[in-house]
A = this chain, B = another copy of it.
Amino acid sequence: MSQDGAGVDLETSLGYLLKEASSALRSAMEGVLRPLGMSVTHYSCLELLAQRPGLSNSELARGTFVTRQTMNVLLQALERDGYVTRPAEAPFGKVLPAELTPSGRRSLEKATAAVRSVEVRMLAGMTEAEQSGAFRILQSMVRSLRDGNDGV
């Protein structure tokens, strides 16, 4: 199965498995969000805004792991469709705090329920201890990867 001497054995690589898990999660989320006419990034943006009202474009971008240019395009669409509002002028500096409209909040409700069901399914068969263990380990990975990243 494993090729001796090869650098990264896909069968035992945690990096590969991480990618696989992330792909499966994304796929499952797309599956439940598509009927609602929502993409994963779309949903992530609304969810983030619901939990932290007033976040700026750049902050939302960091929170959803896309560039601020990408988030800007998405925010403009969400604004046009009436899910999000931003003031015409920045109250301070250039930062424009965004907020959900009632329509945005309504639209988010169904999506949140759908995504929660996916997360529940993902955690099926795992004990509480395993879940908190997974949490610690993933956090450790993120920290280690960020550290050596030269601030990029």
Contacts and interface: CB of A to CB of B under 8 A. Distances in A.
A73 interface: no
A123 B131 CA distance: 19
A144 B122 contact: yes
A8 interface: yes
A7 interface: yes
Interface stretch (A46-54, A75-83, A84-92, A96-104): A46-54
A24 interface: yes
Given A51-B6, A152-B31, A65 B23 contact: yes
B138 A130 contact: no
Contacts of A124: 144
A112 B3 CA distance: 14
Given A18-B21, A134-B134, A145-B24, A8 B116 contact: yes
Interface string A96-134: 000000000000000011011011011111100011011
Given A10-B51, A27-B152, A152-B27, A144 B123 contact: yes
A36 interface: no
Interface of A: 3, 6-10, 12-15, 17-29, 31, 47-48, 50-51, 63, 65, 112-113, 115-116, 118-119, 121-126, 130-131, 133-135, 137-142, 144-150, 152
